[in-house]
Amino acid sequence: MDCIFCKIANKEIVANIVFEDEDFVVFKDINPVAEVHLLIIPKMHIGSLMEIDMLDASKIKNMFGIINKMADDFGISSKGFRVVTNIGESACQSVKHLHFHIIGGRKFGWPPG
Ligand code: AMP
Ligand code: ZN
Protein backbone atom coordinates (compact mmCIF):
# COMPACT_ATOMS: atom_id res chain seq x y z
CA MET A 1 0.00 0.00 0.00
CA ASP A 2 1.30 3.43 -0.89
CA CYS A 3 0.86 5.03 2.54
CA ILE A 4 3.41 7.53 3.81
CA PHE A 5 2.75 6.75 7.48
CA CYS A 6 3.11 2.99 6.88
CA LYS A 7 6.45 3.84 5.28
CA ILE A 8 7.47 5.84 8.36
CA ALA A 9 6.40 2.96 10.64
CA ASN A 10 8.39 0.52 8.47
CA LYS A 11 11.42 2.87 8.33
CA GLU A 12 11.19 3.06 4.54
CA ILE A 13 11.24 6.84 4.83
CA VAL A 14 12.91 8.89 7.51
CA ALA A 15 10.96 10.77 10.16
CA ASN A 16 12.00 12.42 13.40
CA ILE A 17 10.84 9.59 15.64
CA VAL A 18 10.68 10.49 19.34
CA PHE A 19 9.04 7.33 20.71
CA GLU A 20 8.31 3.83 19.50
CA ASP A 21 6.97 0.62 20.96
CA GLU A 22 5.55 -2.60 19.54
CA ASP A 23 2.33 -0.98 18.33
CA PHE A 24 2.86 2.78 17.96
CA VAL A 25 5.29 5.37 16.62
CA VAL A 26 5.44 9.03 17.62
CA PHE A 27 7.27 11.50 15.38
CA LYS A 28 7.53 15.25 14.84
CA ASP A 29 5.13 16.73 12.32
CA ILE A 30 7.05 17.92 9.27
CA ASN A 31 4.98 21.13 9.17
CA PRO A 32 4.48 22.09 12.82
CA VAL A 33 1.69 24.48 13.78
CA ALA A 34 3.02 25.05 17.31
CA GLU A 35 6.27 24.71 19.24
CA VAL A 36 5.38 21.08 19.96
CA HIS A 37 3.59 19.18 17.21
CA LEU A 38 3.84 15.41 17.33
CA LEU A 39 1.91 12.69 15.54
CA ILE A 40 1.13 9.30 17.06
CA ILE A 41 0.28 6.49 14.65
CA PRO A 42 -0.46 2.81 15.03
CA LYS A 43 2.08 0.68 13.16
CA MET A 44 -0.86 -1.21 11.67
CA HIS A 45 -2.56 0.56 8.76
CA ILE A 46 -5.89 1.91 10.01
CA GLY A 47 -7.57 4.41 7.71
CA SER A 48 -9.03 6.71 10.33
CA LEU A 49 -10.70 6.75 13.73
CA MET A 50 -13.74 5.22 12.03
CA GLU A 51 -11.76 1.95 11.88
CA ILE A 52 -10.62 2.03 15.52
CA ASP A 53 -12.19 -1.40 16.12
CA MET A 54 -9.09 -2.83 14.44
CA LEU A 55 -7.20 -2.02 17.67
CA ASP A 56 -7.75 -3.92 20.94
CA ALA A 57 -9.09 -1.88 23.83
CA SER A 58 -5.83 -2.44 25.73
CA LYS A 59 -3.83 -0.96 22.85
CA ILE A 60 -6.15 2.03 22.63
CA LYS A 61 -5.59 2.60 26.34
CA ASN A 62 -1.83 2.30 25.83
CA MET A 63 -2.00 4.83 23.01
CA PHE A 64 -3.61 7.46 25.22
CA GLY A 65 -1.04 6.70 27.91
CA ILE A 66 1.71 7.39 25.38
CA ILE A 67 0.00 10.64 24.39
CA ASN A 68 0.01 11.76 28.04
CA LYS A 69 3.63 10.69 28.46
CA MET A 70 4.64 12.66 25.37
CA ALA A 71 2.85 15.73 26.72
CA ASP A 72 4.81 15.36 29.96
CA ASP A 73 8.13 14.68 28.24
CA PHE A 74 7.75 17.66 25.90
CA GLY A 75 6.71 19.98 28.72
CA ILE A 76 3.21 20.87 27.52
CA SER A 77 1.00 19.01 30.00
CA SER A 78 0.94 21.61 32.78
CA LYS A 79 -0.20 24.54 30.63
CA GLY A 80 -2.48 22.47 28.42
CA PHE A 81 -2.32 20.98 24.97
CA ARG A 82 -4.55 19.65 22.25
CA VAL A 83 -5.08 16.16 20.84
CA VAL A 84 -6.75 16.13 17.43
CA THR A 85 -7.62 13.54 14.85
CA ASN A 86 -9.09 14.64 11.55
CA ILE A 87 -11.50 12.23 9.87
CA GLY A 88 -12.38 12.57 6.22
CA GLU A 89 -12.68 15.38 3.77
CA SER A 90 -14.61 18.00 5.75
CA ALA A 91 -12.11 17.71 8.59
CA CYS A 92 -9.14 18.02 6.16
CA GLN A 93 -7.65 14.58 6.80
CA SER A 94 -4.74 14.59 4.36
CA VAL A 95 -3.05 11.29 5.32
CA LYS A 96 -5.39 8.31 5.32
CA HIS A 97 -3.64 6.46 8.15
CA LEU A 98 -4.97 7.05 11.66
CA HIS A 99 -2.97 9.68 13.51
CA PHE A 100 -3.51 11.92 16.48
CA HIS A 101 -1.89 15.34 16.50
CA ILE A 102 -0.39 16.25 19.90
CA ILE A 103 0.01 20.01 19.84
CA GLY A 104 1.14 22.46 22.49
CA GLY A 105 3.37 25.33 23.45
CA ARG A 106 1.03 28.21 22.64
CA LYS A 107 -2.50 29.40 23.39
CA PHE A 108 -5.10 28.02 20.97
CA GLY A 109 -8.39 29.44 19.83
CA TRP A 110 -11.77 27.73 19.90
CA PRO A 111 -13.69 26.88 17.78
CA PRO A 112 -11.10 25.59 15.33
CA GLY A 113 -11.06 26.99 11.81
P1 AMP B 1 -3.97 15.52 8.65
O2 AMP B 1 -4.14 16.72 7.79
O3 AMP B 1 -4.76 15.56 9.92
O4 AMP B 1 -4.17 14.24 7.87
O5 AMP B 1 -2.47 15.55 9.15
C6 AMP B 1 -1.40 15.03 8.43
C7 AMP B 1 -0.16 15.62 9.02
O8 AMP B 1 0.94 14.85 8.59
C9 AMP B 1 0.12 17.06 8.61
O10 AMP B 1 0.19 17.88 9.78
C11 AMP B 1 1.45 16.97 7.88
O12 AMP B 1 2.29 18.09 8.13
C13 AMP B 1 2.03 15.69 8.45
N14 AMP B 1 2.98 15.00 7.59
C15 AMP B 1 2.80 14.63 6.31
N16 AMP B 1 3.89 13.97 5.85
C17 AMP B 1 4.76 13.90 6.88
C18 AMP B 1 6.06 13.34 7.04
N19 AMP B 1 6.70 12.71 6.03
N20 AMP B 1 6.67 13.46 8.23
C21 AMP B 1 6.05 14.10 9.25
N22 AMP B 1 4.82 14.63 9.17
C23 AMP B 1 4.19 14.55 7.99
ZN1 ZN C 1 -0.73 3.33 6.43
Which residues does ligand 1 sit against, CB inside 6 Å? 4, 15, 27, 29-31, 39, 86, 92-95
CB contact at 8 A, 35 and 74: no
Instruction: Say what the pLDDT of residue 1 is.
Output: 77
Instruction: Say what the pLDDT of residue 46 is.
Output: 98
DSSP strands (E only) in 1-113: 17-20, 24-28, 36-42, 81-84, 100-104
The tens-digit pLDDT sequence of the chain (113 residues) is 799 999 999 999 999 999 999 999 999 999 999 999 999 999 999 999 999 999 999 999 999 999 999 999 999 999 999 999 999 999 999 999 999 999 999 999 999 98
Please give the number of the atom of ligand 1 that sits closest to the Cα of 37: 10
Q: Is 104 helix (H, G, I), strand (E, B) or coil?
A: strand
The CATH homologous superfamily to which domain 4-104 belongs is: HIT-like (3.30.428.10)
Please give the number of the atom of ligand 1 that sits closest to the Cα of 13: 19
Residue 91 Cα to ligand 1 midpoint, Å, equals 14
Residue 102: CB atoms within 10 A of its CB come to 24
